[in-house]
Structure 1
Amino acid sequence: MGWTADDVPDQRGRKHLVTGANSGIGLETTRELARNGATVIMACRSVDRANAAVTDIREGVPDADLRVERCDLGDLESIRSLADRLGDETIDVLINNAGTMAIPRSETEDGFETQFGVNHLGHFALTGRLLENLRPDDERDSRVVTVSSAMHERGVIDFDDLHGERAYDAWDAYAQSKLANVLFAYDLERRFLTAGANVTSIAVHPGYANTQLQFRGLERRGRRFRKAARWVMNTVLAQSASMGALPTLYAATAPEAEGGAYYGPGGLMNMRGTPKRQASSDRSYDEETARRLWNISSELTDVTYELPDPTVDGPRV
């Protein structure tokens, strides 16, 4: 049968912050966390869409403890503002979920290529600014869950052209950003281990899930035929967004979830089914690339983590 949403343990007394909580995987993750008693901070670019999602969730979970906070991951000032508003509020689990996929080249408010800027740099900056909010103790652990994609296997970190200024392919840029997610999650775990912190960093991917994320790039390009074809493929082949959310829920809540691991659907081609620990791409385990990416990310975002450089190896499948 495998691990399902019915296996999410009681989350009463625990607080989760979910980026991109208003749609797709983020919405379903938020719904199930709330159903199990968690307080969920919904960090979203659009407050209106987030409030609509709150209404949707409360139709099935009337007592859902939800709070909307605006956060545009494509704007470092917006990230800083969210961290300032949270102050010293304790967060048990940070879920780096929001993202954009295969869009025409554009730039964030800070001049980063949008996919790299939102999917990786935005979450790098947010995690760093909320590090002090993750306060584990003897009774409870803290976790950082970063949502990547199976497309990370295609990814290469092009340090000579991180922002696609010389050459840009929408899918290559997406794959690079998703590889950056996994490299970040693993390096963060190594730093937590080196510091002896009771915080774990876990990477996940949702498999092939039917969400609106896949259509946004096609919509921006005006690709009507491809949009129709994608709709047919999603209808026939994809699993639901609620199934796609299971690896995230597992990493965020299951007592047996391991730091430094990579979880995704364990069924057909690792694209469908219930969560299972998997191996990510060989490039994702390259510690030299991870540390170089970390240093560049810190320089670009002006966010420094109060963690030691890693001196231990993280787990690997």
Structure 2
Amino acid sequence: MVSPRTSRWNVRLPDLAGSRALVTGASDGVGVEIARGLAGAGADVVLPVRTRAKGERAIAGIRAELPRASIDLVDLDLADLGSVRRCAEALHTDGRAIDLVVLNAGMIALGQRQRSTSVDGLELHFQTNHLGHFALVAAILPLLSRGRARVTAQSSLAAAHLGIHWDDLQLERGYSAFKAYGASKVALSLFALELGRRSDAAGWGITTNLSHPGIAITNIGPAALRDSRRVGVRIARRAMEAGVGGTPAEASLTAQFAVASPDAAPGTLYGPGGFMHLQGPPRPQPIYRRVSDVAAAERIWAISEQIAGVRFPAVVARGDQGSS
């Protein structure tokens, strides 16, 4: 088996000493490799984790290679809005500005035919992959603004092919895990790009872009894909079986580049530059049609504020800018 730490490519990051980075979903897989890369460049990294034991193992693994790595844990379960609030409170108590953010955490319940809900009663993919991140960013916006943060949201190839079901946002009818996953990744991507636009309008100092990891060869990937009958999932499974995919270390490079490289631009999608964007070094790519829809971004923003019970600062409507 190929080591998850093996990579055919690398990215050159600037000296990040003195910067504070936050990476969600970094207790294993692609996320821990993103954290490893940022810590290796000198950033002080904070890992919001659902399971402390996994987070501690991740830190031990990073420090085995980087003994001087500065990494801290904070508790976070994105599927629990109460946990999101407590995480934000802990970050505010710490008081440090946050300079780099990767909204990487995500889940996909492939093979699970029954719809699952969070402790807040929301469809689990929607809350874990999108709404929890939305609420977290709203709660720590002052820390991000102080750090003039660069925020990268981890999108997915699924966002190119699937969309949000506006008349059934929680997928109470016709549920499938793949459909729920794709919709949640579209929602997260729309949010991230809208955050950048609103920051520009309001002077928050935050810039945003998107990354996607291609297909990562992980221990859970083949098992999760094994029983699914969807065409897109079959293609992904066959690609992994044929060796067309990246290790977690390789799949982490697009997010590392997007969030930290001086060559990465706001409002851009970065993905693997190889065959079908499944693997390869980071390259800019066309933003998916559904993700570039500004009206849809404003719509999911308003819905997310209502469902999560959070409010971002008001921004002058685009049509009113420059009017007296």
Same fold (TM over 0.5): yes
Match of 2:30 among 8, 22, 25: 25
Query: After superposition, where does 1:7-26 map in structure 2 within 5 Å?
Result: 7-26=12-31
1:200-279, aligned counterparts within 5 Å? 200-212=207-219, 214=221, 217=224, 230=237, 233-234=240-241, 236-279=243-286
Cα-to-partner distance string for 1:275-298 (whole Å, 9 max, x where unaligned)? 111112212111111111110000
* Amino acid of the structure 2 residue aligned with 1:179: V
Residue 127 of structure 1 is aligned with which of 137, 152, 157?
Answer: 137
Which residue pairs with 1:74 in the alignment? 79
| Deviation of the 1:4 alpha carbon | 5.3
Alignment match, 1:61: 66
Shift of 1:42: 0.6
Is the partner of 1:40 in helix, strand or coil? strand
Matches for 1:1-317 after TM superposition, within 5 Å:
5-87=10-92, 88-103=95-110, 104=112, 105-136=115-146, 141-212=148-219, 214=221, 217=224, 230=237, 233-234=240-241, 236-309=243-316, 311=318
1:315 corresponds to which residue?
A: none
Identity of matched residues, %: 36
Distance 2:34 2:116 in 1: 29
Q: Give CA-to-partner distance per residue, 1:145-201, whole Å, 9 cap, x none.
A: 110101101221112111111110111111111111211111111101111332101
Cα drift, residue 126 of structure 1: 0.8
* CA distance in 1 between partners of 2:223 and 2:186 (Å): 20
| Separation in structure 1 between the aligned mates of residue 122 and residue 246 of structure 2, nearest angstrom | 32
How many residue pairs are counted as aligned between the two chains? 302
Letter in 2 for 1:12: A
- Structure 1 residue matching 2:72: 3-state secondary structure: strand
When structure 1 is superposed on structure 2, of 244-253 and 301-310 the one drifting more is 301-310
**Structure 2 stretches of 5 or more lacking a match?**
1-7, 320-324
For 1:82-125, what per-residue CA distance to the aligned partner results, in whole angstroms no more than 9, with x for missing partners? Answer: 11111133111121100001443200110111011100101111
TM-score normalised by the chain length of structure 1: 0.89
Q: Write the deviation string for residues 228-274 of structure 1: whole angstroms up to 9, x where unpaired.
A: x9499257221111111111001111112111111111111111111
Shift of 1:215: 5.0
Task: Assess if the C-alpha contact under 8 Å between 1:247 and 1:264 holds in 2.
Answer: yes
Q: Which runs of 5+ in 1 are unaligned?
A: 313-317
- Which TM-score applies when normalising by structure 2? 0.87
Superposed CA RMSD: 2.4
Hey, what does 2:3 align to over in structure 1? none
Distance 1:16 1:216 in 2: 32
**Which whole-Å CA distance do the structure 2 matches of 1:7 and 1:166 have between them?**
46
Whole-Å separation in 2 of the counterparts to 1:100 and 1:119: 7
Q: What is the DSSP-based 3-state SS (H/G/I as helix, E as strand, rest coil) of the residue aligned with 1:146? A: strand
Report the AA paired with residue 143 of structure 2. Answer: N
For 2:4, the equivalent position in structure 1 comes to none
Question: The residue matched to 1:160 in structure 2 has which SS?
Answer: helix
The answer to which of 111-120 and 151-160 deviates more is 151-160
SS in 1 for 2:136: helix
Q: Aligned with 2:119: secondary structure? A: coil
Deviation at 1:19, TM superposition (A): 0.5
